[in-house]
Amino acid sequence: MPDATQTIPADDSDIRRMSFEEALGALEQIVSDLERGDVPLELSIRIYERGEKLKSHCDRLLSAAEDKVEKIKLNRAGKPSGTEPLDPA
């Protein structure tokens, strides 16, 4: 995978269309690039800001996934009898 210094888009509008896995991969690449320490300061700031947006996007996607997770309810005989929210509000 090419480093972020070569592939960073002019804006961050693409982030909204990324899957969790795509966003996480892009975020991991940014961390790798920043850890190397050979990225110019201005570009470091830009990719750090992009990383923050990617992290927020991943957090939103994870939260949405958690909202969809349900717990299976069992009746007295131990048989499945439906579902309920994992963490009732």
pLDDT over threshold 80, residue 2: no
* pLDDT tens sequence across 51-65: 999 999 999 999 888
Residue ranges covered by each domain of the chain: 4-85
Confidence of residue 1 (pLDDT cuts 50, 70, 90): very low
* Cβ within 8 Å of residue 69, ≥6 positions away: 86
Q: Report how far apart the first and last C-alpha atoms of the chain are (Å, whole number).
A: 42
User: Which range is most confident: 2-11, 33-42, 51-60?
Assistant: 51-60
Name the more confident of 65 and 17. 17
Q: What is the pTM of this model?
A: 0.70
Which fold is adopted by the domain 4-85? Helix Hairpins (1.10.287)
